[in-house]
């Protein structure tokens, strides 16, 4: 089925879906900073436990981001027509543009979430 | 630019290298932490140089060596490899390396404990030897033993300051109402210079301190001397200077242990004469500098929190300077 004949669902027109992955990144980032600060200030326990909690949050965030990346990859539908230029005002081009942008944002968010977790692996202490 | 001008510029830029050594350089390390930091710097610089050369090499290749257009496929692969894969790999490596030195930088100190408080615009320095009930108080100078890790507690009085002693380690903010910490492990004996690294008011640029590192034995001897009360004045001039110091109320702000002067508003002056700097690095402990300072502190450090004594006759001020200079 050619791209232009594929169904164009409301979700395909959603800008919000496109930026969901960076939103997961933002929430994860806030969680890592806020949780570590409170954990260390309140002396809730060993820094090792903190580091594991952050890693768990990271795995959750990465799973969400991978799920979104797959959804956006499908919406981009690159394998169908190898199309990566979306400059026409048609449903297909809008759908594939948003999918393409969302997919790349998801990849960026994946790397970013890993990067903001790395300090927790290395620091090793609350000091 | 002509070739000659370019060559001259290159030579001039070599001059900048002269700033790489000296008493206040992270590139001339005298401690374990600063050595790690300078290694980090050279590693990053080497990486940047390789990337810079590679980018310019590619540019040269595309412009001069083979200016024919690439295939669309090849260009896409190049953009993906050079724009996505390479930065991700390189940044992960650099971030990992940078983070891997963090635990050492934050290691707890198991040697001497010192508390440094940022004031406007000077440093209060309290030594807490093992088991001490009261600190040995000094100011504007930090003396540390070589070969052990000293634990340094950082506080601030009114505004945020930052404690930075590049020859020995990284910098850490001093924040009112909060206790920060760092630890330093000097490896070389020497004299160094530190600087407040967070804007803290009019005289921020004049808020510096000196650091001295000593062998453990020398340090123990120094600490014993530092703990002792001030030396009594030995000359008539110094004696009249002491009397003037007490009569003028200097002791309301300054403490000189072993005398009635007990004030804690300004720096402790008990062993001022043995220190390497006056007024947080603005001057030296010499008689002319002491006279200039007492006469009008704000002329030297804008808005300094000490009143001017230019209403006193020069003889009285000179006598006080003689007294203070003798406080070894
Ligand atoms: Cu300051």
- How do residues B230-268 score in pLDDT, each as one tens digit? 999 999 999 999 999 999 999 999 999 999 999 999 999
Which DSSP category does B302 fall into? Answer: T
Residue A123, chain B, CB below 8 Å: the answer is yes
pLDDT confidence of residue B12: 63
Chain A residue whose CA is closest to B108: A127
How far does B151 lie from chain A, in Å, by closest CA?
Answer: 12
CA–CA distance, B88 with B99 (Å, rounded to integer)? 16
CB contact under 8 A, A123 and B106: yes
Predicted TM-score (pTM) of this structure? 0.83
CA–CA distance, B156 with B116 (Å, rounded to integer)? 8
Q: What is the mean pLDDT of residues A22-37?
A: 95
CB contact under 8 A, B99 and A125: no
Residue B114 contacts residue B142 (beta carbons within 8 Å): yes
Chain B residue whose CA is closest to A125: B103
CB contact under 8 A, B99 and A118: yes
pLDDT at residue B32 tops 80 = yes
CB contact under 8 A, B92 and A115: yes
pLDDT at residue A1 tops 70 = no
pLDDT confidence of residue A87: 86
CA–CA distance, A94 with A86 (Å, rounded to integer)? 7
Chain A residue whose CA is closest to B104: A123
Ligand 1: centre distance to CA B192 (Å):
18
pLDDT at residue B188 tops 80 = yes
Nearest-Å Rg of the Cα atoms of chain A is 19
CA–CA distance, B249 with B243 (Å, rounded to integer)? 10
Ligand 1: centre distance to CA B170 (Å):
16
pLDDT at residue B1 tops 60 = no
pLDDT band at B314 (very low <50, low <70, confident <90, very high): very high
CB contact under 8 A, A127 and B181: yes
E strand or H helix that includes residue B115: strand B113-119
Given the structure tokens 């026409």, which residue do they identify?
A88
Partner residue opposite B103 with nearest CB, options A111, A115, A123 = A123
Q: What is the mean pLDDT of residues B12-23?
A: 67
Ligand 1: centre distance to CA B174 (Å):
9
pLDDT confidence of residue B319: 96
pLDDT confidence of residue B15: 56
pLDDT at residue B18 tops 60 = no
Q: For testing the chain B interface, which of A40, A54, A111 should be mutated: the one with the most B CBs within 10 Å?
A: A111
pLDDT confidence of residue B300: 96
Interface A–B counts its CB contacts (< 8 A) at 28
Domain B113-227 sits in CATH at 2.60.40.420
pLDDT confidence of residue A93: 87
Residue A41, chain B, CB below 8 Å: the answer is no
pLDDT at residue A2 tops 90 = no
pLDDT at residue B177 tops 60 = yes
Residues of A in contact with B96 (CB under 8 A): 118, 122
Nearest alpha-carbon partner for A119 in B43, B105, B102, B90: B102
**ipTM summary value:** 0.81
How far separated are the first and last CA of chain A, in Å rounded? 59
Residue B177, sorted as left (phi over 0), alpha (psi -120 to 50) or beta, turns out to be left
Residues of A in contact with B92 (CB under 8 A): 114-115
Question: What is the CATH topology of the domain spanning B236-325?
Answer: Immunoglobulin-like (2.60.40)
């Amino acid at each position: 089925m050619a791209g232009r004949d594929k169904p164009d669902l409301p979700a395909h027109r959603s800008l919000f879906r496109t930026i969901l992955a960076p939103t997961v990144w933002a929430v994860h980032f806030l969680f890592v900073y806020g949780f570590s600060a409170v954990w260390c200030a309140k002396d809730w326990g060993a820094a090792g436990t903190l580091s594991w909690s952050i890693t768990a949050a990271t795995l959750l965030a990465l799973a969400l981001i991978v799920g979104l990346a797959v959804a956006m990859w499908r919406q981009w539908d690159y394998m169908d027509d190898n199309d990566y230029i979306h400059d026409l005002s048609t449903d297909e081009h809008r759908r594939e543009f948003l999918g393409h942008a969302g997919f790349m944002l998801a990849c960026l968010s994946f790397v970013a979430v890993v990067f903001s977790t790395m300090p927790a692996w290395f620091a090793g202490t609350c000091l | 630019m002509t070739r000659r001008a370019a060559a001259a510029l290159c030579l001039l830029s070599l001059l900048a290298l002269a700033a790489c050594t000296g008493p206040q350089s992270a590139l001339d390390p005298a401690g374990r932490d600063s050595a790690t930091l300078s290694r980090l710097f050279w590693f990053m610089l080497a990486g940047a140089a390789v990337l810079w050369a590679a980018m310019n090499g590619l540019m040269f290749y595309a412009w001069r060596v083979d200016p024919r257009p690439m295939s669309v496929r090849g260009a896409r692969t190049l953009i993906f490899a050079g724009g996505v894969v390479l930065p991700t790999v390189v940044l992960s490596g650099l971030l990992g390396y940078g983070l891997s030195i963090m635990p050492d930088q934050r290691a707890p100190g198991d040697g001497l404990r010192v508390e440094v408080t940022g004031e406007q615009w000077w440093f209060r320095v309290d030594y807490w030897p093992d088991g001490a009930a009261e600190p040995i108080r000094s100011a504007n100078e930090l003396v540390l033993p070589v070969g052990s890790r000293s634990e340094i507690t950082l506080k601030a009085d009114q505004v945020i300051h930052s404690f930075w002693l590049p020859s020995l380690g990284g910098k850490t903010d001093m924040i009112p109402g909060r206790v920060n910490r760092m630890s330093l492990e000097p490896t070389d004996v020497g004299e160094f210079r530190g600087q407040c690294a967070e804007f803290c008011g009019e005289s921020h640029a004049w808020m510096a301190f000196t650091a001295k590192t000593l062998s453990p034995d020398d340090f123990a001897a120094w600490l014993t001397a530092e703990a002792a009360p001030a030396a009594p004045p030995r000359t008539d001039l110094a004696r009249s200077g002491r009397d003037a110091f007490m009569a003028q109320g200097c002791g309301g702000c300054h403490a000189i242990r072993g005398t009635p002067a007990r004030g804690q508003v300004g720096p402790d002056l008990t062993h001022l004469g043995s220190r390497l700097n006056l007024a947080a690095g603005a001057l030296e402990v010499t008689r002319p500098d002491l006279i200039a300072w007492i006469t009008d502190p704000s002329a030297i450090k804008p808005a300094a929190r000490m009143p001017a004594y230019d209403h006193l006759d020069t003889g009285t001020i000179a006598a006080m300077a003689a007294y203070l200079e003798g406080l070894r």
